[in-house]
Structure formats: C-alpha cells, structure tokens
Structure 1
Amino acid sequence: MTPEAKARQDIEQRLIEAGWVIQDYQDIDLGAARGVAVREYPTATGPADYVLFIDRAPVGIIEAKRAESGENITVAEDQTLRYATAPLKWRGLMTPLPFLFESTGAIIRFTDARDPAPRSREVFHFFRPEQLAHWLAAPDTLRRRLASTLPALPTARLRECQVAAVGGLERSLAHNRPRALAHMATGSGKTFTAITAVYRLLKFARARRILFLVDTRNLGTQAHQEFMAYTPPDDARKFTELYNVQRLSSSTIDPQAQVVISTIQRLYSVLSGEPLDASAEDISLNELQQMPQQAKRVRYNAAVPIETFDFIIIDECHRSIYNVWKQVLDYFDAFLIGLTATPDKRTFGFFNENIVAEYTYEQSVADGVNVGYDVYEIETEVTKKGAELKAKEWVDHRERQTRKRRWAQTEEDQAYTGKELDRSVVNPSQIRRVIEAMKTAVETQIFPNRKETPKTLIFAKTDSHADDIIQCLREVYAQGNAFCKKVTYKAEDDPDSTLASFRNDHYPRIAVTVDMIATGTDVKPLEILLFMRDVRSRGYYEQMKGRGVRSLDCDGLKRVSNSADSAKTRFVLIDAVGVERSLKTDSRPLERKPGIPLKDLLQGVAIGHRDDDTLLSLANRLVRLAKQLDDKARARVETVSGGVSVADLGKGLIAALNPDRIIEDALATAEARGITRSEDTLTAGEIAAARAARVAAACTPFDRPELREAIESARREHEQLIDHINLDQVTFAGYGEQAEAQARKAIQGFADYIAQHKDEIAALAFFYQQPYQRRALTFEMIEELHDRLGRPPLMLTTERLWSAYARVKTSQVKGADARRQLTDLIALVRFAIGLDSELRPFREQVDKRFQEWIFRHNAQRATAFTPEQTDWLRLMKEHIAASCSIGRGDFDYAEFADKGGLQKVWGVFGPALDGLMDEMNRELVA
C-alpha cells in the first residue's frame, strides 16, 4: 500500500467513526445519509480529494496528504482553500465552502472560513455531520461571537484581581488564543472568578457546553456547591436555575448539561476504555502521578465526540496534567483555560505563555485577601539524626496494612534516618515529642490567650502515620475521639462530613490528613499547619501551605473558635521535618524580623534602613495591623498620612520591591537618557538605582514623625501587654481614699472637657444651645463624643464615668449595677451640665418621658392613640432608647420589619407618622 493510500484509509476510517458515509464520485448517492464524503469530486481547478455534503449541500473540503507530509501539512492550506472557492461540477458558482480540513490520517487540521481572521487548528478527530450542520444553522461562529465586544463586566461583587482575570481571559478569547492561564493566589477566589467567566460565556457567547476539570472528587463536590450558590449580577436566580450543571459520576454526559464537572481521571477512563479504580478520583494527581501505571492511549468515543465541549477550565492545573492525563485535553476541540496558584515553567509552556492574570500570594496579603504566615520550627534528636535498634531487641513488629502486631526480637542491628521514620520504622516517642512541643508552643507563644486549641491541620506521611498521630494527639491533649479526626480517603468516617465539621463546627479541633485536603479545599478557620512530612514538589508544597492563607472576619472565626478576639490576621506553619528549609518556595514569609518592635522598624526605615527584610517585615506588620484596627483608628492614621490607609502604606512597600517593576523602571530611565537597553543588558548599577528610587518613594511617608507616632499609637490602643512575670495578690477590697480621688479626677476631667468643647462637638452643642435645637440628636454624634473621650489623656469610657459618679455622688446615681449602653453618655452629659438632678440610665429617662408624652396625647380626645398605634409607639420608643432617634429608614430593622415595616406603620398612622417621629425625637431625648 502506498503512503497516499494508507493516509486515505486512515482518513476514511476516522470519517466513518464520526458518522460519515464514504462514496466515489461515480457512485454518488447524497440521499444515503445526512453526511456524505465524496472522493475525487471534480472542481473547476481539479478534483478535490474529498468534498463533504450535509443534507445534500456541499459544506467542506478534505485535502489528503501522506503521513510523511505531517510536519509540512500547513502548506496544503492554500490548496484546500482553492478547492473550497472553486465552482463544483454540476453545482456552478457558489459561495466558498466554510469547513476546510487537511489530514494525513494521523494529523487533522481544521479551519472554519467564517471565523474572523480564519486560523487553522489541529483537532483529534473529524467532527460529526450533526455538528457541522449545527454550526451552519447558527448566524455566526463561536470565535466571531468572542471577538465581538461582550457587555461590560459588573464589578460590584468582584475583587480587583477577579475583574482583571475575567477581563484578561475575554481579551485572550477575542484574539482566538487557544490556551490561557490565570495565575491567582490561593484564597483569591479562583472558582468564583471561573464561574463568573462561565456565566458570561454561556449567556453572551452562547457556548453550548463547558467542562470544569478538578483534581479530586472532593474538589468536584466543592465546585458543584459553588455553582449552586452563585447568583449572577444581572439575574436574581441561581446559576443552577439558569443552566444545567452535571457532576459526572458515570461515563454518560447528560446531553442537556451546559456545565459538566469531572475529574480528569474519569474522563481518561471514558476515552481510553481503561476501568476507573474506585479510589482514583480520591487521590490528588500530585500523588497519583508518582504511582506506576500502564498508560493507555485515548481513542475516539462516538458517545463523547471531540466537539462535546467549547471550553475546558482546568482547576489547579499543576504539573500532573502534562503526563498521561494530557491526552484528555488533546482530545477535545476546546479552548483551554488554566487556573493555578502555583505555576512552574511547564505550566507557562503548556499555556503558550499566555498569562491573562497574575496575582501573587504577596499581593493577596497586601490587599487583605489572604493572611501572612510565620514559621515555627520543631526539631528533635531522632528527626535530625535518626537512631539505631540493636540486634536481639524485643520490639513490636506491625503489618503496615492490617496494623496487626507481633512481639519479636530484631534479627540484626538496624540504623534508620529521620527520613525513614513512619515508613519502615515508627518511633512513638518522636511523634509524642513533636505533638507536646506543638501544644506547648501554641498555648504559651503562638496563641497564648486562646481557651480552645486553634483549628489545626497536620500533614502526615501515610495513612498509617496519620493513625499514629491521632492516637498521640488524644493522649497528649487528654481529649476524646471528637477532638481530632483523620481526614483521608481510608478513614472510617465519611471524609466529606468530617471535613464539613472541621470547617464549620467546634469539633474536631485538629484534622490529620495525607493528601485529601492538600489542594484546593477551603477551610478558612485554619490557623495552624503542622508538617510532619516533607514534600518534594515546590508547587505541591505551595498548595499545601495555601490551606492556611484564607482570611476570615472576626464573627466567622468566633463561630468555630469562640475565644478569638479579632479577625484572622495570620497563620503559623509549624515545621517539624525541615520542609521549609528543604525547598526554595515561591512565596516566603513576609515577616523577616519577628523580634523587632513595630516602632523600631518605623524608625529604622526613617533613618535609612532599606534592605528587603526590613521593608517586607514593616509591610507585613502594617497589613496585619490594618485588619485589626477599627474604622476610627484607621481614619486617624489617614488624617495624618494625607489619606493613605495603613494597608496601602504596607502595599506600597511590597510593590516597591516588585522585581518586574524595578526592571521596567530601569529600562524607562535608560531610554529617557537615550541609552538602548534590554532586560539582559541592564547593569547592576542601573537596576540598583531603579530599586532605590522606588523604595525611596514608598518610604517617604515614614519620614514624618507624626505618622510614625499615629501608627504606633494605633497599635498600642489595639494591643495589651500581658504580664505573666509579676504576680499580684489582693491587699484590700472596697472603696478607699485613693479610689475616690481617682473618681473625682475623672469627673472633673469630664466636666472640663465638655465645657471646653461645647461649641466644637455636635452632641455637646445640642445640649448647650437653649432653647433646644430643632434637629435630632443622632447616634453618630454620641459615637463621636464617646470616641473623643476614650482617647488619651482622658481615656474615659461610659462605664468608668458612671462608676466614678456612683462612688462620689452615691445618692444621686441610680442604676449603677445595670449594664451600660452607649446612649447612657447622654444621661452623663445632662447630669454633668445640670440639666438633670439625678443620674439615671438613658433608657429609664426615655421610658419616663414616653409615659408623660403619651399621657398628654391620650388626655386629648383628638390625639388619643388606638391600642395598635400604642404598640407601634412602644417599639419606636425602644429604638430611640438604643439609638437616640428614629426615622423612616429605621423601619428596615428586624424588630419593625417582622411586623410589616414602613408600609405597615404608614397604614397605622398615615401622613401623621413623620410628625410623630419628629415629636418623639425632641420630647424623649432632649
């Protein structure tokens, strides 16, 4: 058989598999099937190798070439186009045929002439006739729709990095780039970003079906939940109400599904015909790729043709997609979109260096999306040096799988290294010492004020190692089974439910895993990662560290760790095996000088310390401090800094050290001086000068002493020194002369302050200006006054002032034992300036005035209130007692909304409502 004949045989075999009928020109019967491929069909420029007919109409050309022509097959594109534009015999002149193929049988290239700037691409197989008919029936092609301007992206619910990623991807698709990579830090919302892009591709680009590839079954479940929870910005319905989403659990793809979630392992099984092992989808590909496996070629499957998906989104597209699994990505004729936090050179190469978004871990920390981390090291003698078992020693021998033990003597001397621990040798004492050291460190140094163990994840070497760790944890912490759980694929408990409890419930406090939650799985409350296994892969290590980086607000953290007193601002990586030193990781801790106080870092930068360690440590402290401060403290710093926030000051330092930006500045400077430079020809001096200029600009704000003092003052107000050294004892119980003197001093300071600032502070002006102002005393006024009183040197709180009056003017103070509210400051002001002869809680005063006010109304028949109106007025009175005033907008609060809100109360009072509210605001407060 000649090479040409062999190529045609392979081509025709593939056409038949795709559902085409092959005919000779002399035996043509276009009614034999919907899709007919006719050999040697005559055209005005000679016979075409194959002309494709659908529903009796010519639609395409196949130019056949022998296999040896594979590397030069693109040179045949002009020949294919000539046949496609030439009149066909018996057909006369007609529009060019749109579907153009060149093939050697082994290689197939395809061009859709209707695309903008038509560009050929290699495809795994021929398309089915039904697919080409579907494309012909559409008014335009997918690539033409992508090239047109999509509607503007709504940005209200998106972070800046997500907006950049979606925008970059859509620009890439508009230019018909087949592969795109979004490099986004763990925790920055890659899946949410991907779903946003999927929604826009389905709705505006009219994509038929999109594949969302995940690493493990567990991550498929998590992705499915995120699709179900997603609400588009332009539609009140959930994503799954608008589009069908299938989580693939068999070999059958739902023809109605517009999004299919699957592991790459399952699709490989479907396409290769290789049975899927029951646990294959439960093991991360980072681990699975190291297992010996007999690679089997992916073959064409008519039930899952190559046109099944328009787009494939590869979540966590780490290095594992480049071996046997890559066949799945080669099979489908689809755009490939990669999402990863840990790209390497192969990742960039696979995606043709088309990086549509780049958002690093350091940037995510600076933006407050993620938290920074500190490294705490634990080293033991056996971990470092190993040990030796002498011959004839009586020790336990345990089978690895069954864990069945036998008591026997060792046969010979056996030395083992730290790396052999928990594989060939188990040393319970080593595990115990590490766990004890972790417990002590967490309770005394890392989180000394926590009452419960922070949520902790331990990475074990094997499933057996995880069991040993679990037993040791329960003994060292003297806790029951619920305290710590194993989250591996071999765990007896359902791993999904255990993981859900670890994420959302109080117990378990500690989870031990091998690889199940090493990548992708979201556990925001995690604050401790303990590594009891080393990791060879840099990318995999970064993924594992990523389990701890996610930020969490105070309420979210307190839901599972009740004694937490602030938002999650960091996590701590406890390294018990030297994993941090054994790798050069892509992201290092921003904190380089943990022992130097913030004020010294600020001072050091001011006097000229500009090394990376100092600047990154200061940046880390500022970003962390920004999360801890309340709005008022942040505003005070911004007043001094000229509007620059604490977080932005830290971000500026990180940005100044960005090596890419330094190179760009150095090149721009050289160009401005008329010097031609490239990145490779820049001198060390030019790069250093560019760095110095960027750093100087970022450090300029810290030259101002008042800014340094404002930052340090904000830190002092937030933090307290806990003195564990100087022990105290009770020497007296009761009020003494010194206590009364302090109380009198506080009262005098309060009186002097309100007298001095009566015209400056709105709340004080309200009381001093008589007759009463005809505007309401607002809660914001009281908050402002409370904030000013609480600053140095007064440091007066409502609680402290009330206690001081109770000590000095006992007979005039009522409700001294009641719980204080912020509005009690109104009562304090009125008492201090002589408007009231008794100091009573503000709520009591409001209650008394309300009774007097409503009695006056009811005494006049014309203004008497009905029982329903009285009930509403009591609710309004309670709101005034807590918030100083009431207005229409307040009826959205739950206590009103549950009873019908503004619409209902308007129906009860009618147009008189606004007047009644104004009257109550005056009568009950002033």
Structure 2
Amino acid sequence: MDQYDCIVVDECHRGYSLDQELTDSELSFRDETDYISKYSRVLEYFDAVKIGLTATPAVHTTEIFGGTSGLPIYQYSYRQAVLDGYLVDHEPPLQIKTRLAQDGIQFQVNEDVAVYDTQKQQLELFNTPDEITLEIDSFNRKVVNENFNRAICSELARHIDPSLPGKTLIFCVNDMHADMVVSDLNDAFQERYGEIENQAVRKITGKAHKPLGLIREFKNEQYPSVVVTVDSLTSGIDVPEICNLVFLRRVRSRILYDQMLGRGTRLCPSLHGPNDDKSCFRIFDCVELYSSLKSYTDMKAVVTNPNLSFGQLIDELASVTGDEQRQTIKEQLIAKLQRKKRSLKGPRAKTLEEKSGQNPESLVEQIQRATPDEIVEWFADKTNVIEFLDQKGGGNGVRFFVSEHDDEVVSVESGFGKGNKRPKDYLEEFREFVTGHQDEIAAIKLCATRPRDLTRQALKDLQIELDKEGFSETRLRVAWRETKNVEIAATIIGYIRNAILQTPLEPFEDRVNKAMTTILTSRQWTGTQRQWLNRIGKQFKENTLVDREAIERGQFREQGGFDRLNKVFDGNLSELLAQITDEIWGVAA
C-alpha cells in the first residue's frame, strides 16, 4: 500500500461515493462491504497522493478529490483550450424543426391507435380513453413516426455528404431508433447523391456485431463516415475527423451532454486537404436539445402522478432545482423502484443486472443512498436501463405508439446567443455590448484605438470575457455569413473595430498579407531579416497578435528568443512588431 507516491485517476467523475453506515441491527445480517463504495475504498487503500482528472466534474468527484475546499485545485476550461489552440470551437447549433416537432403528435378521444409490441413483434390496436399529446421528447421513445425520421434525414442529407472529408456522429434514442435512422439516412443520401459507399453509414451500439471493431474502423478507415449510436460513443473515443454531431435524442445530464460535444472538439490537421485544417465542428439539433438544457427557472412544478414513468421522473430530477421538490421526486422514484422490483424475478432480474450492473435490491439501495445529482448522472448514459424499467408486465418487450401523421421540415435556423436570436439581432447585440463597455473593459478600447498596445494575454482575457456574454469569433463569423451571405474569416479585433468604428470587415489573412507586403517594401532588408519577417507574418496569422511573449515561445525560443531576434533587427524588434500591427489594422502611427 506504500509502494506508490502518486496515483492519477483519469475520468475520475465515473466513481461514486455511496458510503453509508449500517445500523446495529443491519450489522447482524448484512455485509458491511456492501455499503462502502468500492471506488473510495480502492483509493483509500493506498498511502499516496491521489490526483483526479476529468473534463466533467460531478458532485461526488469534488467529495472524493476536492480536499478540504471541495473544489478542483486546477481548472482549464474548454473555452481556454480553444483560445490556446488545443481544441476547436463549434458553430452555433443548426436547429432543424419539423411540423410535428413544433405541434406534437396528437391522438383524439376514442381513436384506434396502432401500438407495436417489440416482444410479440406485432401491431395491436389501442382505443384511447382520453386525448393524447406526445411532445418532441417522446419521439422514438414512446411514439414512432417514420415520417419525422425521414424528414430529418432528408434535411441532414442537404448538409452532409458522406463521401467528403469529415465524419458524422448521430445520437439516437434507442437501438430500434438507430436502425431506422441508418435505413432512412441511406435512402436520403442515395436520393440526393446517387449511389454511396455500402459501408458509409453504420450503426455502432451495444447490439451491433463486434462494436469494438466497428469503432476502430470509424477511427482509422475512410468508412464508415457516418455513425449512428445511442450510448456507446458518448465518451472514451477519439476520432479527430468528427465534424458533425447530430442530436436525435434528449439527454438529461449536462455532464453527458458535454461529453457528447467533446467528440467533435479534437484537432485534425489537413482534414480538408494539405494545410486545410479542421477549424470547427457543427451541431445539428433536431429535438430542441438546447432549449431543454436551458436555465431551469421556467420549468413547471412537479405534478404527483402514480403513472409517471421512470424516464419522466429522472427527467424531472434533472430539471427541477428546489431541494424539497427534488427530494419528493427521489422518494417517488424509490417507491416506484420498490414496486417494480417485485416483478423483477428470475430472468428479468438477470436482464436488469446485465444492463445496469446491479440486481434489483442493490439498485434500490444505491438510489436510496445517492444524492439527486448522483442519480441523474448514473442514469444519464443508461437509456436501455430506463426503457427496461418502464416496460409493462413480465415480458421483455417495449410498446410504442405508431403514428402515421405526415411531417415536413418547417425551419432550419442557427441559434445565436441567449434566446437563440436571429443572426442579425445577434450582431446588433454584440455591437451594443462592445460600444457600451469600451470604457470599463480596457481591451475593447485598445482593439478600437491602439491594437499595438494589446498583449496576447490581454486579448485572451477579453475573449474569455466576451464568451461569458455569448460572443465568440466562430459565432460572429457564422452570424455575419448568414446576415451578409459572405464568408469572412475575421478575428475578434476585426469584429470589434467593425462594430465601434464601422471599419470594413476583411479576412484576417488578407490583412496580414497586405501589411507584410508594405513592411517588406518599406526599406532594404537583409536576406536574414526577410526570412524572419516571413516567419513573423505566419505567426501573426496563427495568433492574431505577436508580442514579446510570442517571440519567447516555439520556434522563436528555440533559435534564441526575443533577445537574439532583437539583435537581428538592430534593437528595433518591439517597434517593428508595433508597426506590423498598425499596418494590419490600418492605424496611423
């Protein structure tokens, strides 16, 4: 136990601290080890420093690794990683809405509705005693409508070509839904592009044949280029070529959601051709996921209903913020589990254990000991467990309403900023923010008046501050493209100067090229100086600003850093960098 000085636990959010003391009576007939978290016990066994690493810390993570403060000792945000060039940003989500998604699927009173039983593999008729309205979060979970899936897949085919560089990952509700989407996507791709590669679209779920082999193919081969999954690929895989994430299912956990987004953030050099790197990834939101994960302050109060499903109870537990309400939901969930476990005998108990790793009794006990946050996180990537618990009777089948309602795509829009504003409104909101805060945020005024006085650190701090307000270069670029119908790869400095000074917005690379041409022709440089000027120009293109800190890094540092390069330019390097910056932004010296 004292052989190790330091233990590093990666993905440490996966551990659980479900410890509980036994009463005197329980000690007489229950094993104490059943009530002690195996995860915590393994860590405590070793007399060493324990360091937990995770991109998505949960409540129990801080309890185990947070020390006396309960807080992470070091945090490095996704936004910071994007600014530092280690991850790529995503464009605003493209929200695909259909008529049924807007209005819901309705069955009238006394209507004969087809219901499909997956165990019997047959359709049965069900006469509705009341009017039934099923909203988008029930699609492919409680009701199957092929027209909805076809409409979505047809729209996706307009934006995704499976033969082009870049891969796509689609998250579905369950395995049956994944099969439908694979079929509908193949049809949509063939209709739009003609014949496509037979293996271009594949399903990778726990029920797929040799899923680990399929994952290796997805990562290492050209095909499959479009993969449809449920829970299998939410975390733990690294496929840098992923450029498109498609959400066809709601998720209950922000941790799970962030993990899904993480599949698209990897860098991928020369993805689209030599020196044409992956610059961002796209999100296709087909189930109003963004609005379902917004602030919970406008959520409706919980309505006590003995017929609530496990899925709905867990959704409510994830959505409601009040401690008293969450405790009520937890108690309802436990009571429902207690009733359910009476029917989980023999093969059904074994099935539950295969799906969840818990037998009925231990699952109830775990939920009793867990906090609401721990319950939500545990169920977050266990769609198959929730579906199993919601099955009626003693069989293993699931029953779905079958809808024949017609459907069509009614809108495809990018969601910008708070409230998913229109791109034009988003740009106006940005203009109002930077003009209204230039006196209190010094870096904004420097962008407008003296960019040469900005440092790279000050620019990063400004970008982080703007990101908190919902503004980033990627979102601004897309908003500008959708408003002006032109693609301009500008920088945050360019957007700020356009908003405050109405200076023309130009591609930043063009600005640098023109500035370096002016500098290079301004005097008689030596051959060595010209070579270094070309390198400095490339550094501007990569980093927006080049200051002393930039010259002390990377290739410049390896060849002597600022002091040596300053000698190359006769002691005038600082002034030269300032002149280049002025030329880039057209600022008079």
- TM-score where L is the length of structure 2: 0.49
Which of the pair has the greater relative contact order for Cα pairs under 8 Å at 6+ separation? 2
